[in-house]
Amino acid sequence: MKRRTAILLPSALLTLATLTAATPALADATAHGPTRVAADSVGSGGVGGTASAADRVVRGIERSAHALRSTDPDSSRRDLDALDPMVGNAQVVGVGEATHGSREFFRMKHRVLRHLVQEKGFRAFALELPWSSGLRLDDYVVHGKGSLEDIAHEEFQGSYEIWNNQDYRDLIAWIREYNLRHPHDPVHFVGTDMGYAGPELYDRITDYVARAHPELLDRVAALYEGLRPTTDAATYSARYSALSLAERKDRAERTGKVLDLLEKARPGRGADARDRLWAVQNARAVHQMAEGLSFDVEDETQVARMMKYRDRTMAANTLWWNRHTGDRMLLSAHNTHVSYDSFDPRYPKTEGAFLRDALGGKYVSIGFSFYKGDFKAFGTDDGVMRTRTIEGARPGSNEYTLDAARQRDYILDMRTAPPAVRAWLDQRRTTYNVGAGWPDTYRYDMALGEAHDVLIHLHEIHATTYLGTS
């Protein structure tokens, strides 16, 4: 695999790849403490046109943008009333993030979640986290099962370490507090990703088979032999990634057979039918992990297919929850995933594109942008979590023009912006797009109006409070 592909695999699949050294100039900069990276290092793109044309774009943004008063979840949310017509009757609202490690993105999602729950009837928060982890967190927020600290320590491991931050702890704690006040109308927590399948998931499946289809139990046990995790998630994932490609493919074949058995098993009625529905979905989640990790990460074509498989899987899990529970959902993931177009050949089709195919206008994508600031990220040379800093956006980038508007932080419905603004948004320009690893030498040229419906622009961001692995 080429160095750049290895470095930039999505966060949930980093455990499959060898994080090789970054380019020397940037790798040296990350050697000690917080890193400052000049905006020039991420490339530039020309705006084109005259100064008066650029001025018309900025003035148009100012007329269309709705100023945000705060990103603090506890602040008044009257400024978010402007979001209501933008969301409309959407069943799923994807809310992105331009880095995986900045508190303002997480806090703003928390604010938006509170608003959508209390004003628009949303009842599920979905995160770029394994399905099995989501089930554990749902048991916590709905039923109070376990402790948040223990669950976060056990589930936010390996590639999902980045979620073990104070801002997500606060968001989850708020959902639990809300549910204590509304026990008969709770907000649920959903994991949509496929990077891991915890032991509880296998137990749920085999318990169902023992109860509803005992004649299949020995067969299912044999097919799952050696697959149920017996260590912590990080150790299991590391060992799984060290397996040969042939062994990973064999495991995917076995999990696929279990899924096929349960899909073909006779359906029951009432509670039995619902139990079967969940058992099949849980078996599907186990297979999604095994299938997703069976691609050859040494082959760039296979890596692109893996990316597409992952985004299709996250969309499918989101849709399953929405269709079988009726919950309107806030879907939290990186900008790339919730967008309609990644503008990156390594991501052939995004989660947002799959959701739009299925839901049409009932899916709304909200992206984030920022002018400058800090974020947490794994080192692409050593895998160590550090605080990184990006200086102010360079002229010619999307962020430079967005930040020229008089509003410091704002929401912009790009679908209803003035013609000059829409034309500008439909042109590709250099854009900050920070994933789990840094430095990232890839240049991202994006047309924001083609990627999202709505944009939240923040002038400055700060690194989240990372709580570590213990």
Provide the CATH number for the domain around residue 188.
3.40.1660.10
Asked whether residue 466 is assigned to any structural domain, the reply reads no
Q: How many domains does the chain have?
A: 2
DSSP 73: T
- 8 and 157 part of one domain: yes
In angstroms, rounded to a whole number, what is the distance separating the alpha carbons of residues 449 and 452?
A: 6
How many other CB atoms are there within 10 angstroms of residue 444's CB atom?
Answer: 22
- Does the residue 468 lie in any domain? no
Are 340 and 367 spatial neighbours (Cβ–Cβ below 8 Å)?
Answer: no
Q: Examine the domain organization and report whether 177 and 83 are in the same domain.
A: yes
Residue 178 lies in a domain: yes
Same domain (yes/no): 166, 237: no
467 lies in some domain: no
User: Closest by alpha carbon to 155, among 167, 164, 146, 147?
Assistant: 164
In this structure, are 202 and 191 located in the same domain?
no
Token pair of 47, please? Answer: 């705006």
Where is the domain boundary, 292, 315, 342?
292
Domain stop point among 267, 292, 317: 292
Q: Is the same domain home to 189 and 204?
A: no
* Domain endpoint, select from 292, 326, 361: 292
Ranking 100-109, 380-389, 404-413, 415-424 by mean pLDDT, the lowest is 380-389
Residue 56 lies in a domain: yes
Does residue 159 fall inside a structural domain?
Answer: yes
Tell whether 161 and 309 lie within a shared domain. yes
Across 231-240, average pLDDT: 95
pLDDT for residue 51: 66
Domain that holds residue 254: 197-292
pLDDT tens track for 402-447: 999 999 999 999 999 999 999 999 999 999 999 999 998 888 999 9
Asked whether residue 344 falls in the same domain as residue 453, the answer is: yes
Indicate whether 470 belongs to any domain: no
Give the mean pLDDT of the chain.
Answer: 90
306-328: average pLDDT: 98
| Mean pLDDT, residues 183-195 taken together | 98
Same domain, 201 and 191: no
Whole-model pTM over 0.75: yes
pLDDT score, position 19? 30
pLDDT tops 50 at residue 370: yes
Q: What is the arithmetic mean of pLDDT over 99-125?
A: 98
183 with 201, same domain: the answer is no
Same domain for 209 and 123: no
Whether residue 423 is contained in a domain is answered as: yes
Q: Do the Cβ atoms of 364 and 329 come closer than 8 Å?
A: no
Residue 223 sits in a domain whose CATH number is 1.20.1440.30
Beta bridge partners of 386: 377
Q: Partners of 376 in the beta sheet? A: 387
Residues 309 and 430 in one domain: yes
pLDDT at 271 over 90: no
Higher pLDDT, 50 or 143: 143
Same domain, 226 and 189: no
Predicted confidence band at 34 (pLDDT cuts at 50, 70, 90)?
very low
pLDDT of residue 50: 63
Q: Which residues are CB-neighbours of 238 under 8 A, at least 6 positions away?
A: 15, 158
State which amino acid sits at residue 320: W
Q: What is the pLDDT of residue 87?
A: 98
